[in-house]
Amino acid sequence: MKDKHGIGGRLYTLRDWCRLTQTQMAEKLDISRSGLSQIEKGITAPSLDIIMKVVSKFDINYEWLMDGTGMIFKYTNPDVLNKHGILGAEDANMGLDKGTSTTFSLDVNGVLSAIEQLPDSKKDELKGKLNQHLALNGSVDGSVDGSVESADKTKGTKNTDVLVPFEVRTHPLLVTVDNAGNENITMVSTAAVAGYPSHYMEPEYIRDLPAFSLPGSGFRNATFRCFQVRGNSMAPTFHQDDWVIASYVDNWPQNIKNGYIYVVVTPETVYIKRLINRILDRQSVVIQSDNEEYDTQEIHALDVLEIWYVKARLSFKFPNTRFAAHRRLGELEADVSYLMEEMRKLRKEEPKNPV
């Protein structure tokens, strides 16, 4: 479990934002992977030497790392963005849709300054992305035309630090491929579920999981995972040890459909439930079981790492309704035969009327 509200949790947020595995981050800080894991979980506190390495190597604010105040980075130019892999050739989007497991502030004017230093061919695209994020957050009226300022009507001041909405975040997905270069469907068994939330971003972990592929267009043009069902909370739809095949979901506010079944990955566990989308209303998702003995729960979206849409299932248990009907008919037939035999006995015992 991550130390979500301490230095360890913020260190995990930084690592997730920079798309580093624990091994890669540990190498940058000259510590062991297990040592970094202990810090992220809040079991041990980082030394002053480690703290200063984090601040200097990643150009982050000391105050944010220590107590969570202020911004993570001070974005000033494309070189800084490139240094952390935030601005790349494949998805040059100023880091606006990179994954992070917590809320942070973004220096909008700093991002705009960086955009202005880029080639003209990229400016409109990046400004459009910035507009989309600010609009979803509800913090800015109007559009980006080179400078953005958000009017705070209650105070009569202007706010240039805008909260980037968590609901549009994505992160790079780790997959394995077959000999033809097609993505495999990685299997996460009940035994592997316990480690998945902690290691789902580590190539070594994903590589060691079993994987397979399926023919047909239904399993193309998306990334799929196969999760094993635990317990009976989704009975009679799913049963213990069934498998569900699910496709990765991004842009949660628009793509989560109410009442459908999803796999929800949190830092603590993995759920397979029906979802009610309340992200835009109150920044949460409601999870519901098909088994009415289980209570409905609500999870804040910031506590969700991944969401997968269930598209198929693999099961070794099928309800045999025909057999059940025949069995019930056989029971009724036995009961009727018993009653008829009892009636014959009663007739034999009846006294005969005298002539």
Identify whether residues 159 and 210 lie together within a single domain: no
Whole-angstrom distance, CA of residue 89 vs CA of residue 92: 6
Q: What is the pLDDT of residue 153?
A: 31
Residues of the chain scoring pLDDT < 50: 1, 75-107, 133, 135-170
Q: What is the pLDDT of residue 63?
A: 79
Identify whether residues 283 and 192 lie together within a single domain: yes
State both tokens at 241: 């040890």
Choose among 12, 197, 199: nearest CA to 104.
12
Residue 127 phi/psi, 5-degree rounding, is: -65, -35
The residue among 298, 314, 330 that closes a domain is 314
Identify whether residues 207 and 300 lie together within a single domain: yes
Identify whether residues 207 and 277 lie together within a single domain: yes
Paired with 188 in beta bridges are 227
Identify whether residues 40 and 77 lie together within a single domain: no
Residue pair 58/95 in contact by the 8 Å Cβ criterion: no
Q: Tell me the pLDDT tens digit for each residue of 62-74.
A: 878 888 776 676 5
The residue among 31, 55, 70 that closes a domain is 70
Q: What is the pLDDT of residue 61?
A: 80
Which residue in the block uniquely carries the two structure tokens 């971003």?
Answer: 201
Identify whether residues 309 and 190 lie together within a single domain: yes
- Classify residue 95: in a domain, yes or no: yes
Whole-angstrom distance, CA of residue 271 vs CA of residue 292: 16
Estimate to the nearest angstrom the gap between the alpha carbon of 112 and the chain centroid: 30
Identify whether residues 208 and 190 lie together within a single domain: yes
Q: What is the pLDDT of residue 353?
A: 63
Sign for the CA dihedral angle at 323, 326, 332, 338 comes to negative
State both tokens at 244: 């569900």
- Classify residue 352: in a domain, yes or no: no
Q: What is the pLDDT of residue 249?
A: 92
Helix axes 48-58, 7-17, angle to 10 degrees: 30
Whole-angstrom distance, CA of residue 354 vs CA of residue 238: 69
Domain assignment of residue 305, given as a range: 185-314
- Classify residue 341: in a domain, yes or no: no
- Classify residue 321: in a domain, yes or no: no
- Classify residue 39: in a domain, yes or no: yes
CATH number at 26 reads: 1.10.260.40
Identify whether residues 31 and 101 lie together within a single domain: no
Identify whether residues 62 and 77 lie together within a single domain: no
Q: What is the pLDDT of residue 321?
A: 65
Residue pair 140/148 in contact by the 8 Å Cβ criterion: yes
Number of folded domains that form the chain: 3
- Classify residue 345: in a domain, yes or no: no
Identify whether residues 25 and 93 lie together within a single domain: no
State both tokens at 168: 């549009």
> What is the pTM (predicted TM-score) of this model?
0.51
Q: Tell me the pLDDT tens digit for each residue of 101-134.
A: 333 344 455 556 555 656 666 566 666 655 554 5
Residue 234 phi/psi, 5-degree rounding, is: -105, 10
Identify whether residues 296 and 199 lie together within a single domain: yes
Sequence-distant (6+) residues with CB within 8 A of 101 are 2, 4, 12, 13, 16, 267, 302, 305
Q: What is the pLDDT of residue 142?
A: 37
Q: What is the pLDDT of residue 253?
A: 86
From the number of C-beta atoms within 10 Å of its C-beta (0-12, 13-18, 19+), residue 13 rates as: buried
- Classify residue 94: in a domain, yes or no: yes
Sequence-distant (6+) residues with CB within 8 A of 245 are 185, 214, 219, 224, 225, 226, 310, 311, 312, 313, 314
CATH number at 296 reads: 2.10.109.10
State both tokens at 326: 């025949």
Which residue in the block uniquely carries the two structure tokens 């990643």?
Answer: 58
Whole-angstrom distance, CA of residue 310 vs CA of residue 308: 6
Q: What is the pLDDT of residue 250?
A: 86
Which residue in the block uniquely carries the two structure tokens 């002053």?
Answer: 48
Q: Which pairs count as long-range contacts for 270-278, CB under 8 Å and 24+ apart, including other chains? A: 270/188, 270/193, 270/196, 270/197, 270/227, 272/227, 272/229, 272/234, 272/238, 272/244, 272/310, 273/233, 273/234, 275/307, 277/252, 277/253
Q: What is the pLDDT of residue 121?
A: 63
Cβ count within 10 A of residue 100: 20
Identify whether residues 193 and 287 lie together within a single domain: yes
Cβ count within 10 A of residue 155: 8
- Classify residue 124: in a domain, yes or no: yes
The residue among 167, 201, 216 that closes a domain is 167
Whole-angstrom distance, CA of residue 225 vs CA of residue 311: 10
